[in-house]
Amino acid sequence: MLRKTYLTALGASAVLTLAMPAFAAPTQLFKSEEGTVEVTTVAKGLEHPWSLAFLPGQRGMLVTERPGNLRLVSPDGQVSTPLGGVPEVWANGQGGLLDVVLSPDFNQDRTVYLSYAEGGEDGKAGTAVGRGQLSEDLKRLENFDVIFRQQPKLSTGNHFGSRLVFDRDGYLFITLGENNDRPTAQDLDKLQGKVVRLYPDGKVPDDNPFVGQKDVRPEIWAYGIRNPQGAALNPWNGTLWENEHGPRGGDELNIIERGQNYGWPLATHGINYSGAPIPEAQGKTVEGTRGPHHVWQVSPGLSGMAFYDNDRFTPWQRNAFIGALVSKNLIRLEFEGDKVVHEERLLGELKERIRDVRQGPDGYLYVLTDEDEGALYKVGLK
């Protein structure tokens, strides 16, 4: 079992060179079932931001921009110039610089993990994951090293995934799209349409479910996944939750378990964008596959996900929040146990594609919008 540590305070302070001023904006107020939602603009002018991670010690947030920039946003909304040491990304279609998470041991190793689209020699691409150490002056990643590559590279611009989640024992989970090549999600000799489980250095744990099997990738933890753009660890029971885009209809919320087949493309609640059936589909449920924990027949275009586990806004306690790209809102879910029993749509007044949502150390939600001029919002209850 890996050692588990918790973030406390960032050791050394540093001076940040700022690229642009913060944008002062009035707070917007919107009605909701649980009271008045208060939305404050933290930063604007971000180019298709994809993910964020909070640095300890109130040092701000690392934010990825899909074209390939990693920036630091200070608590008062100042946005840095792009950090150095970031890998070259394949910024085409849905590809580019994607997720960012901190090492569970960040206070000791200052390690930052990035997922991104990486090009190949034949013009196609796949998801890669690497890590580097954040410099003391917060201006660069040092000693960046690729620890994982999706093989083979099959994407022409679609379905990369990808979210990075550390579990309570320090294992790294990576969600991987099927590169819009449907049958590969069922092919265990390929890394398309999978959730993989690794040690933090990229090595494969011996107890992964398919280790030692012939013609099967040992990294695989679960399979039958389409395009997973949200994932989070449930803080109350430690389970890994994942959401993914259906085709036309059938977005899914899944609880990811060891060795399970989640059905795509054999089982789906959706159809092709043309209106035709999915050729490989055998129905909404197929024997031997795990059905979705919750399904949206009309696709919201699910993205980043966060569980709310803070006393600041008690009406949200034990809720989950999921961004929506197509319906342009923030989905709030209520549960009885693990069962979804109620849904509310928030922030639709913004009319912006919501790409990621994270709970901040201060108990507020922080939301990124995927636009040419994307924004970072701080969201709470008044």
Cβ atoms of 229 and 304 closer than 8 Å: yes
Cβ atoms of 210 and 221 closer than 8 Å: no
Cβ atoms of 178 and 246 closer than 8 Å: no
Determine whether 342 is an active site residue. Answer: no
Helices marked H in the chain — which ranges? 106-109
Q: Is 60 helix (H, G, I), strand (E, B) or coil?
A: coil
Cβ atoms of 79 and 60 closer than 8 Å: no
Residue 164's closest CA among 246, 253, 51, 84?
Answer: 51
Encoded amino acid at 326, one letter? V
Q: Which two tokens stand for residue 108?
A: 């000791």
Catalytic hit among 159, 245, 269, 294 = 159
In DSSP terms, 223 is beta-bridged to 194, 261
Cβ atoms of 296 and 309 closer than 8 Å: no
Q: Which two tokens stand for residue 18?
A: 């700022």
Q: Is 269 helix (H, G, I), strand (E, B) or coil?
A: coil
How far apart CA 21 and CA 178 sit, in angstroms, is 40
Q: What positions carry a catalytic annotation?
A: 159
